[in-house]
Amino acid sequence: MALLPIIKYPDPRLHKVAKPVAAVTENTRKLIRDMSETMYAAPGIGLAATQIDVHEQIVVIDVSETHDDLIVFINPVLLELEGTEESEEGCLSVPGIYETVTRANRIKVQAQNESGEIFQLEADGLLAVCIQHEIDHLHGKVFVEHLSHLKQTRIRAKLKKQRRETL
Ligand code: K1U
Ligand code: ZN
């Protein structure tokens, strides 16, 4: 297995739109293993392939406290969105920034698993938030782009300062 480098905002590669996976192969499963290892090591509760510069529709998520409930989403599609809820989000591509975002509080998603089988899942709470956050990544959208332009400008300045100080 391998730890993969995570692209950091505002890298323009985070705005690429991911392509559907035509066939789930052994290469797809190897990529999923590497993505999961990278997510757990970060540590994070989700990772989209976009964040490791692979522009295919693949997401891994584990919101369990025991880190033993991995869910793989290949070609995910949101079928239903209900209600709205504000919650605090973070992002491995935007280190050290946590902001409140408004999203649907109940969703239904359809995707394929690592065997290529289609499944549907209803989710609420943190899992629903995380699924929407990761599908945004596949569409080239980073969570800070849900915020005002003023907040986005401040976040970019803060990240620039962070990078200067770690050089
Ligand atoms: O997409 C990503 O960068 C992963 C991101 C997922 C996410 C977090 C919170 C709300 C929505 C989506 C993260 O995992 S950020 C790190 C994080 O939240 C966390 C890290 C360690 C333990 C618990 C949470
Ligand atoms: Zn993210």
d(CA 1, CA 80): 35
Answer yes or no: is pLDDT of 166 > 90: no
61 within ligand 1 shell (Cβ under 6 A)? no
Domains of the chain by start residue, with CATH: 12-166 (3.90.45.10)
95 within ligand 1 shell (Cβ under 6 A)? no
What region does 160 belong to: left with phi over 0, alpha with psi -120 to 50, or beta? alpha
Encode pLDDT of 113-128 as tens digits: 999 999 999 999 999 9
Q: Which residue's structure tokens are 């609420």? A: 124
Answer yes or no: is pLDDT of 151 > 90: yes
The confidence band for 21, taking pLDDT boundaries of 50, 70 and 90, is very high
- Of all protein residues, the one whose alpha carbon is nearest to atom 2 of ligand 1 is 91
132 within ligand 1 shell (Cβ under 6 A)? no
pTM for the whole thing?
A: 0.97
Query: Ligand 2 is a single-atom ion; what residues have CB below 5 A from it?
Result: 91
The confidence band for 2, taking pLDDT boundaries of 50, 70 and 90, is very high
d(CA 114, CA 116): 5
The confidence band for 155, taking pLDDT boundaries of 50, 70 and 90, is very high
The confidence band for 1, taking pLDDT boundaries of 50, 70 and 90, is confident
Q: What angle do CA 115, 55, 124 make, to 5 degrees?
A: 65
The confidence band for 131, taking pLDDT boundaries of 50, 70 and 90, is very high
d(CA 90, CA 95): 8
89 within ligand 1 shell (Cβ under 6 A)? yes
What pLDDT score was predicted for residue 17?
Answer: 98
Expressed in angstroms and rounded, the spacing between residue 28 Cα and the centre of ligand 2 is 21
Q: Which residue's structure tokens are 């789930």? A: 24
Q: In whole angstroms, how large is the CA radius of gyration of the chain?
A: 16
* 134 carries an active-site annotation: yes
What pLDDT score was predicted for residue 167?
Answer: 78
